[in-house]
Amino acid sequence: MSRNAILAAVGLSCSLMSVFCPAQGSVADKETPPATYRVGMKSIAVPPPADLRETGPDYRVLFDHDTPDSNRLVAAFLQPDKIAKLPDTTGELSRYAFLQSLRQAEFVDVDQATYKQVADAVAKQYGTSSDAPAIDVKELQDEFNHKLKAEGGTSEISLEKPVALGTFFSKPNALGFGMVMNVAAGDAKMKVIAGTMILRVQNRLLYAAIFAKYTGDDSLSWVRTTSEQWADAILKANP
């Protein structure tokens, strides 16, 4: 697979329409081994992000429609009080996270050099430098609305004023960067911070994202810190 094909699969694959669904989470027992998930014939260990918990396979499928067609949902992490309300997926989702694989690259061995090329290109695309291209979310917005319509939904998702926050962290096998934008669905509106990550785990390319409702510097700090901690935990669990 070419670097361009991988980048096309990555795109801006953030499941932002989920901000109006419920979520759940809890702090994992440090003595409990992390759950594993299959990605391209690999068994990937994935500790949950801080204060979030994985929904499990029965409820995870509820969020497939929030995943871009270019990606496959591997795991969905919500706040515990929200998970208790599933399968009801109405209401505001204030903090949650997704781990996804790229369908075109799921069985591709990604070496260190290829990963660096991808990470450098993504960092440039979503950086805050003056030469960074404008962020275009129309294609993602149209895809979500097409899925909503196919499922009988009447409200449309609107993604507005995306602003890149630059690189949160950069490591040999993990790149994290941030974005903030306004999201609206019907009469519901919210400003959302996304901490998105490109990871190389067991020679597989993974996409992870942590989302939070913007409430000021505290929410930005939580997303930035939790993103890096989660990336470090995933890499440590897969030596």
**Structural domain boundaries in the chain:** 3-237
Q: Are 89 and 62 in contact (CB under 8 A)?
A: yes
The model's pLDDT over 35-52, given as tens digits with 9 standing for 90+, comes to 999 999 999 999 999 899
> What gap in Å lies between CA 211 and CA 87, rounded to an integer?
20
Radius of gyration for the chain, computed over Cα atoms and rounded to the nearest angstrom: 17
Q: What do you get for the CA distance between the two ends of the chain, in Å?
A: 24
pTM of the model: 0.81
Spatial CB neighbours of 182, under 8 Å, sequence gap ≥ 6:
158, 159, 160, 161, 189, 190, 191, 192
The model's pLDDT over 211-238, given as tens digits with 9 standing for 90+, comes to 999 999 999 999 999 999 999 999 999 9
> What gap in Å lies between CA 75 and CA 63, rounded to an integer?
9
Residue 26 banded pLDDT, cuts 50, 70, 90: very low
The model's pLDDT over 112-128, given as tens digits with 9 standing for 90+, comes to 999 999 999 888 877 65
> What gap in Å lies between CA 118 and CA 111, rounded to an integer?
11
